[in-house]
Amino acid sequence: MRLTKRQRTWTHKSVRALIQEEGGGDPIEIVRAKAKGIVRWAKELGWKGPPYNPRELASMRGIRSRESATLFSAEAQLTPMDGDQLLLEFNPNRCTGRQNYSISHELVHTFFDDCFEMIHQRNSNRASFDPKEEVELLCQIGAAELLMPEEDFRADLDAVPFSLESIPTLCWNYDASREAVARRMLALGDRTAALIFLSKRLKPVEIRALGQPGVVIPEPKMRVLYSTYTDDFPFFLPEHKSVPDSSCVYNLQTPDEVVSAVEIWSLSGYEDCLVEAMALPVPNALDTTTPTVMALIQPVA
């Protein structure tokens, strides 16, 4: 099974140039194929893993990388230099899992001709529209292929349960973040499932009512920030939707703790869902824009 990709018309000039360069096709599959080709090439030259070091891959491709605390982007950036050279800089204050994914993401930018024209910055605000989102989406897909090559990841996934309980082991194997590993598990796990990322907050209409006379502030609930699904997942959970008050997601206390239960979510004719939830570390407890819980949802027929 593959993660859901909606039918879309690709409009960004760099994406359209990539499609034209390849003689047509789906840019998602083009990027996947390019990333897999680089992995094969690098392994033949002695690139070892897992975990696979993306800085080594950058060096093999003639791209210099270095730490930098003064970036335009919060994570990493690729800067064009004189002589058609590229400099890859990354934030040293991030954990190695985030560093590795960010570096891999920037390497995928080299699939597009405009990597020599400008510094690319990722939009950290998921709620705002970024005209470059098409390129960023493709870079996310390619980064997963570079950091967690399919052949290796499938073999490791076959050796552990399809469960959030397996996330810490896979994170350690690939020196990757929890979210990146969970998304890869969903993409390659051959299960009907969804990943839902949640934080405890008010819904927008409740936030807008704050401060008005006579308004009673309700108790914040665990609400959907964003989500991703396999193609055959039978229902959709929109942003801001709250989960049932009785859900096990409310029972988490410490990072990496996992709880599970069969719950009634009453979605599209499916009453029962197997819900697994993992608490995520969040530096600022007042930040409601960063997920504090990751939930794996599987419908029970």
- The per-residue pLDDT for range 25-37, each reduced to its tens digit, is 999 999 999 999 9
pLDDT band (50, 70, 90) for residue 123: very low
pLDDT band (50, 70, 90) for residue 268: low
- Does the pTM exceed 0.95? no
Residue 2 pLDDT exceeds 50: no
- The per-residue pLDDT for range 61-84, each reduced to its tens digit, is 999 988 887 766 678 888 877 767
- The per-residue pLDDT for range 136-173, each reduced to its tens digit, is 999 999 999 999 999 999 999 999 999 999 999 999 99
pLDDT of residue 94: 87
Mean pLDDT of the chain: 87
Q: What domains appear along the chain, each with residue ranges and CATH number? A: 13-155 (1.10.10), 191-299 (no CATH)
Average pLDDT of span 89-101: 90
Average pLDDT of span 209-218: 80
Average pLDDT of span 191-195: 95
pLDDT band (50, 70, 90) for residue 125: very low
pLDDT of residue 126: 42
| Rounded Cα–Cα distance for residues 270 and 237 (Å) | 13
